[in-house]
Every structure is written in structure tokens, then in C-alpha cells.
Amino acid sequence: MDAALFSPYLDRWRLSHDGTAIVTPRARLLPVRRDGQPLMLKIATDPEERFGGILLEWWGGEGAARAVEVEGDAVLMERAMGKRSLTAYAQNGRDDEATEVLCAVIAGLHAPRTKPWPDGLVTMPVWFEALEPMARSHGGWLRRAAEEARALLAEGVDERPLHGDIHHDNVLDFGERGWLAIDPKHLRGDRAFDYANLFCNPDMDFPDKPVAVRRERFERRLDIVVEHSGLERRRLLRWILAWTGLSAAWLIQDGDPAEVDTRVGAMAMAELDR
């Protein structure tokens, strides 16, 4: 365990260990309790991850896990104790239900708030910086994705704070509190972007159990998202294409395969060209 990393916060926030530490590429997490309440202590090890706690705090537990304490790289948040999994739903014939849950969570995150937005939210043009150079060097469908992204970013409509990484394992079962989001990316932009994020998952982590790349599921998800979000279908498709292009660009940069993004992007292009 990263004892030196966790110890200052365990002492300061009166926390006791309640499980084994979890290591991710961008953070260290430790299940803890305070006064009997199950919580999760998360310490960012990547600058980008640090700002997610600020957005959790701003949401105030509405649509997302409640931030109990936020300080520097650390956030103490309520812990998901439920057993249900949206990935399991999607992979076992309940993808409609999983998609409806994701739409409801996104709507809760996007609900109007009276307080000012958090400072320092990253804009969509900055978030999409990797796409243009990759489209120039690789061409093909990435060029079309970059064209759509460029046009969408110029329009800049319906802007609000975004989660930025909505997928089946970032929306968890919090028991009586229902399904709530974790691990936001501290973005601002068109609300359609958050809905576009869900279309490649859970296949990104489980390519051997295809759901998102199946055409009938793609089309059904489109219907569900349009119905629940009120988004115009063509606009949603454009954002899906832009998002899959950006995700593919990141993967290619890292030397990883981008098959899921490529297949979902191809389906979005086919729908746009009908």
C-alpha cells in the first residue's frame, strides 16, 4: 500500500482502512470509513485527474458521488456499495436499460445550477487538440471525424460543465442513492458530448464481448439517447463521429488498437450519409 501517500489524509480526516488499495494509471484509491460511513479516498497521481474532485464538489451529490472532502490531489467521496453493474447489464441482454440509466445520470449532471461554474474548466477545442494532427498524418475516416469536430466546436451551442468520460464503469450503483457518476474530467462544452461518450462502451475494456460495435445495438442506443436527451439525431451522430475520432487519435498516439472507435465511427458516418 502507498502508506506515505494516504497517511496524511487518514489522520487529518479521521479515516480508518476498510479494504485494499486500488492502483490505476492516474490515481491511488483506498476504501475507508469515517464514523462508520463507507467512503473512498482518492489521490490523483496525474494532473488531469486532480481537477475531477472540484467538479464532484460542485455537483453536490446530484447525479454524481458526493465529495465529502477535497484538498489538493485528494478527494474523499461516498463509496458505491451496490452490487449492480451497467457493464454486466449491457453484456447480458439489458443494454437498453443500461443506456437509459446512463441517460438519466447525464441529465442529472446537466441539470441547471444557480451557482457559478467551477474555475478552470477545460474547453472542447483544447480537449480535441490531438485529433487534427492525427487526421493529417493518418487520413481516412479520421479526416472526416476532424471535419465534423471542427464544425461542431465552431458552433459552440448548449454549453455547460461536462463529465467528459461517461461510460459503463464510471456510473456505479450507490444503493439507496441510485446510479451515480464518478471520475469526471473537468470539462465544459456541448452537452451532446457526454452522450456521445457512451457509444463505444463497454467494448473498449471488453472487446471480446461485443455490444457497442453491433449495428443493431448502435441503432437502438441512438433511438434511446435521442428520446431521453431531446438531442437532434443528426447532431448526436456528428458528435459520436467526432468523439470516436478523438478517442482513436489518443489510442494511436499510445500505440494501442483503435478498432472499437473505428467501427463505431464507421456506423455513425454511414448513418450521416444515408
Rounded CA-CA distance 55/269 in Å is 33
**Overall average pLDDT of the 227-245 stretch:** 98
Phi, psi values for residue 70, rounded to 5°: -135, 125
* The three grid cell numbers given for residue 116, joined into one nine-digit string: 457559478
**Catalytic annotation on 165?**
yes
Of residues 51 and 262, more confidence is placed in: 262
Indicate the pLDDT class of residue 47, thresholds 50, 70 and 90.
confident
pLDDT at 114: 92
> Per-residue pLDDT for 46 more than 90?
no
pLDDT in tens, 106-123: 999 999 999 999 999 999
> Per-residue pLDDT for 4 more than 90?
no
Rounded CA-CA distance 266/273 in Å is 10
- Name the percent of the chain lying above pLDDT 70: 99
3-class state of residue 161 by DSSP = strand
pLDDT at 66: 97
Domains of the chain as residue ranges with CATH = 3-78 (3.30.200.20), 86-272 (3.90.1200.10)
- Name the percent of the chain lying above pLDDT 90: 89
Average pLDDT of the chain, as a whole number: 95
> Per-residue pLDDT for 262 more than 70?
yes
pLDDT at 243: 98
**Active-site hit among 165, 169, 223, 261:** 165
Q: What global pTM score does this model have?
A: 0.95
> Per-residue pLDDT for 271 more than 80?
yes
pLDDT in tens, 54-74: 999 999 999 999 999 999 899
> Left if phi > 0, otherwise alpha if psi is -120 to 50, otherwise beta: which for 42?
beta
Paired sense of beta strands 159-162 and 74-78, if any: unpaired
Rounded CA-CA distance 15/33 in Å is 6
pLDDT in tens, 144-156: 999 999 999 999 7
- Identify the residue whose cell numbers are 492502483: 23
Rounded CA-CA distance 29/17 in Å is 11
Indicate the pLDDT class of residue 2, thresholds 50, 70 and 90.
low
